[in-house]
């Protein structure tokens, strides 16, 4: 897939060299500004903390309290700020580092075969063996628990990664999936690592946290992030929550990685955690963009999924790599094209179905999104 990646990148460069304007729906990085109060908090925080030294490894008490209170308001669960929460520098590093704390060389780490690359990279760098479960369209892009159990039965599996709302398929997991997975993981003594970075990005159905489905969090850890909720990718802040022993050990391990999240950043995002209005605005903005693209896809007869996250997952009319290349120069006369991510590029393991799909991240402006929807309508009509 590295080759395919390079191939699409090269085609993007070439399109630009040939004078094409490329509307970029590739990487999922929000272009909207950070929550206003957080910006003000950062400005005043720099002054307040001008000589405060290293921040706390686990996050300041006020930040952990705010995270716990938010979890309570949002999911009706209350992780103990003293023992069940730790701050992280966004979830990417936290996800990548988790296996270093818990995986011994040769342990299996189970993850979706299409998904977020740090699940695999973390497992490999920690000496674990990545194993994959498929995400099938006929199963609503949820893992089949039989696939999971067949790996668990084989040999020691330390971690099971799940990611709902899901990047890239936009699927949201339901109650029975979480409950059944918890029972299965307890039976085999595996840790569930639930990447919940997208719980606040949804259309109609409000996503859940796996922590809601049991009081016994001994083998569960979840990852939350301010990145998508508050357009905060640029300031790197999030938190992990879960069982006391898990969090305790993870905290200990993390003292060797860095020295915590800057105090000014933690304080600034407390106001973001306490505000839901800006989060609703974020959802409204993506809903508008989503509507533009999904109605165009519908008109040209392309099947899509768009239940959550800021992605659209859609069926590729041809092999996803060649389709992505053709999209870059979609309108030859107007010299304008669209950058999408071919599903094949998102495969972590053996995922023969990945190449049948493509992903669009709704990060360009509303105007650019409307333009892209018109381009799709006019040029992809089959
Ligand atoms: C599935 C998933 N998890 C986690 C992240 C990491 O987000 P951050 O490190 O900004 O919190 C992303 C970012 O795109 C993602 O797609």
* Closest atom of ligand 1 relative to the 88 alpha carbon: 11
9 CA from centroid of ligand 1 (Å): 21
From ligand 1's centre to the CA of 71, what distance in Å? 18
pLDDT at 155: 79
Predicted pLDDT at 3? 63
Residue spans of the chain under pLDDT 70: 1-5, 382
Domain ranges in the chain with CATH number 3.90.1150.10: 2-33+278-379
pLDDT on residue 156: 87
Domain 2-33+278-379 has CATH 3.90.1150.10: yes
Of all protein residues, the one whose alpha carbon is nearest to atom 3 of ligand 1 is: 197
What is the location of CATH 3.40.640.10 in the chain? 36-274
Find the 379 Cα to ligand 1 centroid distance in Å.
32
CA of 109 to the centre of ligand 1 (A): 19
Give the pLDDT of residue 28.
84
Angle at 246 between CA 112 and CA 144, to 5 degrees: 25
What pLDDT, on the 0 to 100 scale, is given for residue 175? 85
Q: Which fold has domain 36-274?
A: 3.40.640
Probe target for ligand 1 pocket from 26, 30, 90, 91, with the most ligand atoms within 8 Å of CB: 91
- Supply the pTM of this predicted model: 0.96
């Amino acid at each position: 897939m590295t080759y395919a990646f390079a191939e699409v990148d090269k085609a993007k460069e070439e399109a630009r060299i040939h004078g094409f304007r490329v509307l970029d729906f590739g990487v999922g990085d929000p272009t909207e500004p950070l929550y206003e109060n957080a910006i003000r908090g950062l400005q005043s925080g720099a002054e307040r903390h001008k000589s405060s030294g290293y921040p706390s490894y686990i996050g300041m008490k006020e930040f952990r309290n705010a995270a716990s209170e938010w979890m309570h308001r949002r999911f009706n669960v209350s992780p103990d700020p003293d023992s069940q929460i730790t701050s992280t520098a966004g979830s990417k590093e936290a996800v990548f580092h988790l296996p270093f704390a818990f995986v011994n060389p040769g342990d299996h780490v189970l993850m979706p075969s299409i998904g977020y690359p740090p699940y695999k990279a973390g497992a490999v760098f920690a000496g674990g063996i990545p194993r994959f479960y498929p995400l099938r369209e006929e199963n609503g892009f949820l893992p089949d628990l039989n696939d999971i159990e067949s790996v668990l039965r084989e040999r020691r599996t330390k971690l099971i990664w799940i990611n709902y709302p899901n990047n890239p398929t936009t699927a949201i997991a339901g109650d029975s999936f979480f409950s059944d997975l918890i029972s299965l993981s307890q039976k085999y003594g595996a840790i569930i690592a639930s990447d919940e970075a997208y719980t606040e990005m949804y259309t109609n159905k409000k996503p859940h946290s796996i922590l809601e489905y049991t009081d016994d969090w001994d083998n569960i850890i979840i990852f939350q992030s301010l990145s998508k909720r508050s357009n905060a990718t640029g300031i790197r802040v999030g938190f992990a929550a879960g069982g006391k022993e898990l969090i305790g050990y993870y905290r200990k391990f993390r003292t060797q990685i860095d020295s915590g999240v800057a105090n000014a950043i933690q304080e600034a995002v407390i106001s973001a955690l306490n505000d839901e209005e800006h989060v609703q605005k974020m959802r409204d903005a993506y809903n508008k963009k989503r509507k533009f693209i999904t109605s165009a896809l519908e008109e040209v007869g392309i099947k899509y999924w768009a239940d959550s996250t800021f992605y659209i997952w859609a069926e590729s009319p041809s092999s996803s790599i060649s389709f992505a290349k053709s999209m870059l120069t979609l309108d030859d006369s107007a010299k304008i094209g669209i950058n999408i991510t071919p599903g094949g590029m998102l495969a972590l393991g053996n995922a023969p179905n990945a190449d049948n799909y493509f992903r669009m991240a709704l990060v360009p402006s509303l105007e650019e999104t409307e333009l892209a929807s018109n381009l799709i309508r006019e040029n992809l009509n089959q």
